[in-house]
């Protein structure tokens, strides 16, 4: 996409963004516990972090959101007891997600094996350059490894924003192009490290699968995302993690 085209369209895009923000319903984060234990077998300590899609906006209960569905899928696919915790808030960028994690987890001495991070759309909305967003993801991954013992961080891909039914054209097209550029930068970066990954997550973004605002996931999207991430972790991440898991006191983590 030409920068000239984007600059020419800027007044229209700003007006559309303001109208869209005023028009779309403000949906709450999913209710319910943000930590739990599910399954039977060796312990797998799971952290889910990020923005509104991690917090479950678009469904009523955490049971039907990303965290609840992912914990159950991982327990089944990995034959593990999944000790899970969710740290997420609507509207967070990648940098703000790291700030939230530091505020929530510093001083608690929690320990996790795998982290699943859902961020990126708010980087696009906030016009964060893609390379800066990658640097912020790297800082997040490094902190998770060094501060809370995460062996592997799974970064969810940017969703296909160009298919969000709640956004008008040309705002949808422009935001979608920005999201694609961010996702390409993320894909290049994860190939440079062995402790981070980006799974393929096909999403059914038809209007009936989305939330009422046409912007956030609905239950079918959360289900598809959880199944894809669980397949990825079970096949590519957890076999290595299980072989090296040596964290004591599984009943105490995460707190």
| Cis omega (within 30 of 0) for bond into 254 | yes
Rounded to an integer, the average pLDDT of 143-154 is 95
CA dihedral (66, 200, 122, 189) in degrees, to 10, reads 130
For residue range 58-73, list pLDDT tens digits in order. 999 999 999 999 999 9
Q: Say which residue, 163 or 43, is predicted with more confidence.
A: 43
DSSP secondary structure string, 145-180?
A: HHHH--SEEEEPPPP-GGG-TTSPTTHHHHHHHHHH
Give dist(CA 75, CA 97) in Å, integer.
26
pLDDT value for 11 = 67
pTM surpassing 0.85? yes
pLDDT value for 13 = 61
Distant-in-sequence, close-in-space partners of 175: CB < 8 Å, separation ≥ 6: 124, 125, 161, 162, 164, 167
């Amino acid at each position: 996409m030409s920068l000239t085209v984007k600059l020419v369209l800027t007044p229209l895009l700003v007006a559309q963004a303001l109208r869209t923000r005023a028009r779309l319903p403000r949906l709450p984060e999913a209710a319910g516990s943000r930590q739990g234990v599910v399954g039977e077998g060796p312990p797998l300590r799971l952290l889910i972090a990020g923005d509104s899609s991690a917090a479950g906006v678009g469904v009523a209960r955490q049971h039907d959101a990303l965290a609840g569905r992912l914990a159950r899928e991982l327990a089944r696919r990995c034959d593990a007891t999944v000790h899970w915790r969710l740290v997420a808030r609507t509207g967070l960028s990648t940098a703000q997600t790291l700030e939230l994690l530091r505020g929530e987890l510093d001083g608690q001495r929690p320990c996790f094996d795998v982290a699943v991070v859902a961020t990126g759309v708010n980087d696009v909305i906030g016009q964060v350059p893609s390379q800066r967003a990658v640097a912020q993801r790297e800082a997040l991954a490094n902190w998770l490894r060094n501060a809370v013992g995460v062996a592997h961080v799974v970064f969810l891909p940017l969703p296909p924003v160009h298919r969000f039914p709640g956004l008008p054209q040309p705002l949808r097209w422009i935001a979608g192009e920005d999201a694609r550029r961010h996702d390409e930068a993320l894909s290049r970066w994860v190939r440079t490290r062995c402790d981070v990954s980006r799974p393929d997550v096909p999403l059914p973004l038809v209007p009936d699968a989305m939330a009422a605002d046409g912007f956030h996931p609905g239950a079918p999207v959360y289900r598809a995302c959880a199944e894809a991430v669980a397949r990825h972790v079970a096949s590519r991440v957890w076999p290595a993690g299980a072989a090296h898991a040596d964290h004591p006191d599984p009943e105490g983590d995460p707190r």
